[in-house]
Amino acid sequence: MKKAILIESDEPPSQAGVQRALRLAPSTHSSSTFRRRYFPDVSPQQWNDWRWQLANRVTTIPELERFVDLSDEERPTFKGHGILPLSITPYYLSLVHPTDSSQPIRRSVVPTHHEQLLSRGEAADPLGEEDDSPVPGLVHRYPDRVLLLATNACSVYCRYCTRSRRVGNHGRRDGLLQAQWERCLEYIRSHPQVRDVLISGGDPLTLPDKRLQWLLSRLRAIPSVEIIRIGTKVPAVLPQRITRELVSVLRRFHPLWISLHFTHPDELTSETTRACGRLADAGIPLGSQTVLLQGINDDVPTMRALFQGLLRIRVRPYYLYQCDPIQGSAHFRTPVERGLEIIRGLRGHTTGYAVPTYVIDAPGGGGKIPLLPQYCLGPSADGDSLMLTNYEGGTFHYPTP
């Protein structure tokens, strides 16, 4: 008996935690079936190599048609689609439904002609990031932290991308990028009020280990930089990228936090579970960011499944974003009431950790503004107490001091 307990506790945490997470959420998805069908000559080793995944991204409509029956809305008109390029890793494509064009994962990555429609209030840079950019590739909006846009490339382009104006440049010229990074580092060095650097893009985890290590070590050498954060969708769209080697690079730069982008519970596969397990085992606190999208994840059951599923893989839901009014995004946007309903449907009904902060990133550079359902009903008639409502709709009084 004692021996059994000993063996259990000797098991590496990665094994135990990941196995449990997998058991709790049995994944019906099998990327190996997809691989055997569409890439019969590709070995599991190649498939699980992130470089193979990147090299074999689907980037054109004719290639995509090999895997997916395009609907009329998805078939490009003579003008093509919008400005945002197409890119889907073979792994993520294995999650795309081949015939149902309304499937959430499919809608989030397959372009439609709605992207050509410019609606009221839409802009290329609705958040005014360029106006808050002291040097190219850096956004300094808040007093104590900066956003460093380390690359324009992603492995998969989300059709609702807030940076669709600038992402997609895969002809990476390392020299140019390097010069831009040096200027960003110089800015951070000369602004000691910056204690938090958020590395985003593009997706920074599409960079090779060596380049990431270079950037992280330069940032760590700046005494005023307390924490470093990375924003990435890689664990959802290219989980093969989270190699032991990458993790051993990242863990050298603690305190390091990672914000992961997740859209739908279908993304919580065994591959993604393992990737997040590795990062969490390396002591990296994981948060998630989700964009509220019409017909994709804008209902309570979907969001509950996503956020509870994220907790099982040790990711804490951090922000739920109202969709930014980028050009050609009207078909994705929901009324703000929808987001408030979702928060109301979660708070109190499930684990508090599963409830992210719902925010609008204010157009024009106002930054993230939190939105909450109305739980405070105001003072009672006699003025002796504050009236509150709870998650079940009951009214409660808190004595006014």
Ligand X SMILES: *Cc1c(COP(=O)(O)O)cnc(C)c1O
Question: Which residues contact ligand X by CB under 6 A?
Answer: 139, 141-142, 145, 147, 198, 368
Strands, sheet with 145-149, edge to edge from the N-terminal-most edge strand = 138-142, 145-149, 196-200, 227-232, 256-261, 286-292, 316-322, 357-362, 367-371
Cβ count within 10 A of residue 52: 18
CB nearer to ligand X: give 57 or 145.
145
Active site residue 251: no
Active site residue 184: no
3-state helix, strand, coil in the chain (%, to 5): 40, 20, 45
Q: Kindly name the residue from 49, 132, 142, 344 that is annotated as catalytic.
A: 142
Quick check: 355 and 317 in contact, CB under 8 A? yes
Active site residue 376: no
Q: Rounded to the nearest whole angstrom, what is the least distance from the CB of residue 212 to ligand X in the complex?
A: 20
Cis peptide before 90 (omega within 30 of 0): no
Q: CA nearest 137: which of 129, 145, 124, 148?
A: 148
Q: Rounded to the nearest whole angstrom, what is the least distance from the CB of residue 339 to ligand X in the complex?
A: 17
CB nearer to ligand X: give 86 or 260.
260
In 68-212, beta strands by DSSP E: 138-142, 145-149, 196-200
Q: How many CA atoms lie within 13 A of 105 on its CB side?
A: 24
Active site residue 274: no
CB nearer to ligand X: give 360 or 386.
360
Task: At 128, list the tokens.
Answer: 């005014």
Active site residue 158: yes
Active site residue 218: no
Active site residue 163: yes
Active site residue 107: no
Active site residue 233: no
CB nearer to ligand X: give 95 or 230.
230
Q: CA nearest 170: which of 54, 62, 76, 79?
A: 54
Q: Rounded to the nearest whole angstrom, what is the least distance from the CB of residue 338 to ligand X in the complex?
A: 22
CB nearer to ligand X: give 67 or 142.
142
Q: Kindly name the residue from 91, 161, 184, 298 that is annotated as catalytic.
A: 161
Q: Rounded to the nearest whole angstrom, what is the least distance from the CB of residue 340 to ligand X in the complex?
A: 19
Residue type, 146: V
Q: Rounded to the nearest whole angstrom, what is the least distance from the CB of residue 198 to ligand X in the complex?
A: 5
**Which residues belong to the active site?**
141-142, 145, 154, 158, 161, 163, 324, 361, 368
